[in-house]
């Protein structure tokens, strides 16, 4: 298939150009900040001198990638049918605190305990996403506006819940607040044994390599199967590509909006769980925020496909991990955010350019063929 190969080479070239330009843009920023771009590049690949430091660095990379991947998936489900679920941020926070609270109120064997926590998180996330969905289908409220507003509500409600009704016991003089810690049966087993296969020592970082990584991989495969291999997935794709054609084909648009939004919210509910079930055991003051917004960039970069999102999440996590390494090399860590922004922007532009270029090539080839046959 020469045309397919052409297309593949074009995309490859586009991506390489995008990344090279992104690195060039950042080099300018690094030089402006008084650093050496080559040192900065080296810092990204510097995982430390000892086996222990490397094991910790690798665990940190994957532990960061897992929530980013789930966030990317949640956003992508909406994007696939042109629904802009900006509310992933609020959905995951409110789901995380409810799941952490419910999980701390009872003790059951580990599989049941963890299953209940996961189900609570998905249900709460899904229900919170149901609000903008219902508003959209019944009153035509733009989901971008409603989900942004609902984010503020969710952030403040969870801040109230963690210091009010859902708060745990505090040691004398402790200033941070959190929910009551989960019982040991609520903690997801870690994957530290994997490091043994590569001759590395197990990471000593709290929680090690989070076991939720396995859940994330399963989730990615399931979502790929649902989107690409089921009638529901086809209906989502069809509604996204051409809404009126989908309706003419008998797809109920309102039902699809609600289903896609709740599906997206339910996945969003899982974003906070790797951290809670992996190391902290509770939702508290230091809970990681902002993952919902990062998920938008990850989904864009991954082109709304699970495999692409996985690569994008790993790339973002790889860049984020260098926060400390860059500072050891005396380079301001804000460089990371510049690189992330530049890559997303340039990859989107490169995609568009290569798509148009490939389309023109294809048209020319078809025209030539027509001339030959005529």
**Chain residues in the site for another protein (CB under 8 A):** 1, 3-5, 7-9, 11-12, 15-16, 19, 44-54, 56-58, 60, 64, 159-160, 162-163, 167, 171, 173-177, 200, 204-206, 280, 284-286, 288-291, 303, 305, 307-308, 311-312, 314-315, 318, 320-321, 323-325, 327-328, 333, 358, 362
Beta bridge partners of 284: 178
For 124, list phi and psi in degrees, rounded to 5: -65, -45
Of 1 and 248, which CB lies nearer to another protein in the complex structure? 1
Q: How far is the CB of 52 from another protein (least distance, A)?
A: 6
Q: What is the DSSP string of 277-324?
A: IIII-S-BTT----HHHHHHHHHHHTTT-HHHHHHHHHHHHHHHHHHH
Of 132 and 283, which CB lies nearer to another protein in the complex structure? 283
User: CA-to-CA distance for 64 and 67, rounded, in angstroms?
Assistant: 6
User: CA-to-CA distance for 51 and 72, rounded, in angstroms?
Assistant: 31
Cα angle: 336, vertex 203, 185; to 5 degrees: 110
Query: Please, are residues 210 and 317 in contact by the beta-carbon 8 Å criterion?
Result: no
Q: How far is the CB of 132 from another protein (least distance, A)?
A: 24
Of 77 and 358, which CB lies nearer to another protein in the complex structure? 358
Counting every residue, how long is the chain? 374
Q: How far is the CB of 159 from another protein (least distance, A)?
A: 5
Of 175 and 248, which CB lies nearer to another protein in the complex structure? 175
Q: How far is the CB of 59 from another protein (least distance, A)?
A: 9
Q: How far is the CB of 214 from another protein (least distance, A)?
A: 19
Of 262 and 312, which CB lies nearer to another protein in the complex structure? 312
Of 105 and 285, which CB lies nearer to another protein in the complex structure? 285
Of 105 and 176, which CB lies nearer to another protein in the complex structure? 176
User: CA-to-CA distance for 367 and 353, rounded, in angstroms?
Assistant: 21
For residue 178, the 8-state DSSP code is: B
Q: How far is the CB of 134 from another protein (least distance, A)?
A: 30
Q: In Å, how far are 101, 211, 223 from 321, measured between CA atoms?
A: 30, 19, 27
Q: How far is the CB of 239 from another protein (least distance, A)?
A: 19
User: CA-to-CA distance for 283 and 292, rounded, in angstroms?
Assistant: 16
């Amino acid at each position: 298939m020469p045309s397919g190969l052409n297309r593949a080479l074009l995309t490859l070239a586009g991506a390489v150009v995008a990344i090279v330009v992104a690195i060039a843009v950042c080099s300018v920023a690094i030089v402006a900040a008084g650093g050496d771009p080559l040192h900065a590049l080296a810092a990204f690949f510097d995982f430390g001198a000892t086996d222990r430091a490397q094991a910790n660095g690798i665990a940190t990379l994957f532990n960061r990638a897992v929530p980013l991947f789930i966030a990317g998936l949640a956003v992508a489900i909406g994007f696939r049918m042109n629904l802009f679920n900006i509310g992933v941020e609020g959905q995951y926070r409110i789901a995380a605190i409810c799941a952490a609270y419910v999980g701390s109120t009872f003790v059951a064997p580990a599989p049941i305990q963890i299953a209940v926590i996961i189900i609570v998180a998905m249900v709460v996330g899904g229900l919170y996403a149901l609000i903008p969905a219902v508003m959209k289908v019944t009153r035509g409220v733009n989901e971008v506006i409603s989900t942004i507003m609902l984010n503020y509500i969710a952030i403040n409600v969870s801040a109230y819940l963690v210091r009010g009704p859902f708060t745990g016991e505090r040691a004398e003089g402790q200033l941070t607040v959190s929910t009551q810690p989960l019982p040991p049966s609520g903690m997801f087993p870690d994957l530290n044994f994997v490091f043994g296969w590569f001759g590395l020592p197990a990471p000593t970082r709290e929680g090690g390599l989070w076991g939720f990584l396995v859940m994330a991989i399963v989730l990615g495969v399931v979502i790929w199967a649902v989107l690409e291999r089921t009638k529901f997935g086809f209906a989502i794709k069809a509604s996204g590509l051409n809404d009126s054609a989908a309706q003419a084909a008998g797809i109920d648009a309102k039902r699809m909006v609600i289903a896609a939004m709740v599906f997206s919210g339910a996945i969003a509910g899982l974003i906070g769980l790797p951290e809670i079930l992996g190391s902290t055991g509770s939702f508290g003051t230091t809970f990681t925020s902002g993952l919902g917004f990062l998920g938008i960039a990850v989904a864009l970069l991954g082109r709304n496909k699970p495999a692409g999102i996985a690569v994008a999440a790993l790339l973002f996590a790889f860049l984020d991990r260098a926060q400390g390494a860059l500072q050891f090399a005396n380079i301001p860590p804000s460089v990371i955010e510049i690189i992330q922004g530049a890559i997303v922007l340039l990859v989107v532009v490169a995609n568009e350019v290569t798509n148009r270029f490939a389309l023109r090539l294809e048209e020319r080839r078809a025209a030539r063929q027509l001339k030959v046959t005529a």
